Amino acid sequence: MQIQPDDIVFVLNPNSGNALHPRTLTAMCHAACNEAGHRAHVVATRNPLEAAETARAAHESGAAAIFGCGGDGTLSALLQGLPVGSQTALGAVPLGTANVWAYETNLPTTPFAAVSAQLAALDGISGEVAWVDTGRVWSTNPDGSIGQQRFLLMASWGLDAAAVSGIVGSDRRSRMKRMLGEPAYFLSAVQEAIGRQAWPIAISVDGGEPFQVDAAMLTVGNTRMLGTWLEVNPKANVVDGELDMLLVEGAPWKALALSPLARYGWLPQGPGVRNLRFQHLEIAMLGNPMPTQVDGDPGPPTAYAVDVEPQALLALCPVPTSEVLGG
């Protein structure tokens, strides 16, 4: 069955942390759409590439919206297939480990309620459909060509990215993630911080003179939260046409020691800790490459620049007054 104009497309990720049985999830998607007077089109995908291809097909077919049924990684995969300015809106069915986008935008936590609230926004009953910013990471491919990866939430370098890569690359840590959920990332960060030295890098912000630092962690946020419990970019929102950067200098253990303060939005500004806002950032590695993550998955090790894409994505926002939406 092909996607039709005005369809509501649901992309199922069977590997998400809290996934419902596919038959149960499919029935829920159809029920929510029937109740709202829409036609559901449900697609089960096996990997991020298939999810991106489905999003591209939804855009080309004129689908009204596409929902990622999974975690933030599922939304990120769909984002890769939606061109900048697509009229197909992005929605979320929060079934992942952290569900940061759902947390930031105050979506209902149960799948049926989340879909119903977002369809109400699509139909103009309550909430709104809003144009939001996205980010883009530029990198060099092995063949020398230029690669790019878009993000909805955050990209990071250093300790946080090492923790993500540690979970992806370890069966034991992956099992820990399935058992503990989000706290598994903190435990992975503790393990990654042991014995690590700072990464020497040079940074240029909005075309300014590059400056050199020994960095423990660098986060570039379209949104505020690293996971749902560390507020690393407290002033970030997705409608201001900028990205927010947190830079922590020194050994990785320093970034780890600051995490309890970030838990409550009390991250101090001072020597070795700074927040900057920008539209274009360039990063040069002066030693061993820093680990990279993009929206919760390992990113390209040869990333060299980040740009904001103002008002690039149409998103379903049932609670437009949430802080990340500028409310």
Look at residue 4 and tell me whether its pLDDT is greater than 60.
yes
Confidence at residue 157, expressed as pLDDT on a 0 to 100 scale:
96
Nearest residue to 92 (alpha-carbon basis) of 69, 76, 112: 69
Angle, helices 171-180 vs 159-168, to 10°: value is 100
Taking only the tens place, the pLDDT of each residue in 283-300 is 999 998 899 999 989 999
| More confident of the two residues 132 and 20 | 132
The whole-model pTM stands at: 0.92
| More confident of the two residues 173 and 105 | 105
Look at residue 176 and tell me whether its pLDDT is greater than 90.
no
Look at residue 17 and tell me whether its pLDDT is greater than 90.
no
Look at residue 15 and tell me whether its pLDDT is greater than 80.
no
Nearest residue to 105 (alpha-carbon basis) of 123, 121, 86: 121
Amino acid at 22: P
d(CA 242, CA 237): 8
Give me the mean pLDDT over the 313-319 stretch: 97
Look at residue 263 and tell me whether its pLDDT is greater than 80.
no
Give me the mean pLDDT over the 50-54 stretch: 96
Domains and CATH numbers, the chain: 8-126 (3.40.50.10330), 135-311 (2.60.200.40)
Confidence at residue 181, expressed as pLDDT on a 0 to 100 scale:
73
| More confident of the two residues 262 and 31 | 31
Q: How confident is the model at residue 19 (pLDDT cuts 50, 70, 90)?
A: low
What is the share, in percent, of the chain residues with pLDDT greater than 70? 97
Confidence at residue 16, expressed as pLDDT on a 0 to 100 scale:
64
Taking only the tens place, the pLDDT of each residue in 197-231 is 999 999 999 999 999 999 999 999 999 998 888 89
Q: Dihedral of the CA atoms 180, 190, 196, 178 (nearest 10)?
A: 0
Look at residue 324 and tell me whether its pLDDT is greater than 80.
yes
Most distant pair of Cα atoms in the chain: their distance: 59
d(CA 299, CA 137): 9
Q: How confident is the model at residue 169 (pLDDT cuts 50, 70, 90)?
A: low
Amino acid at 152: L
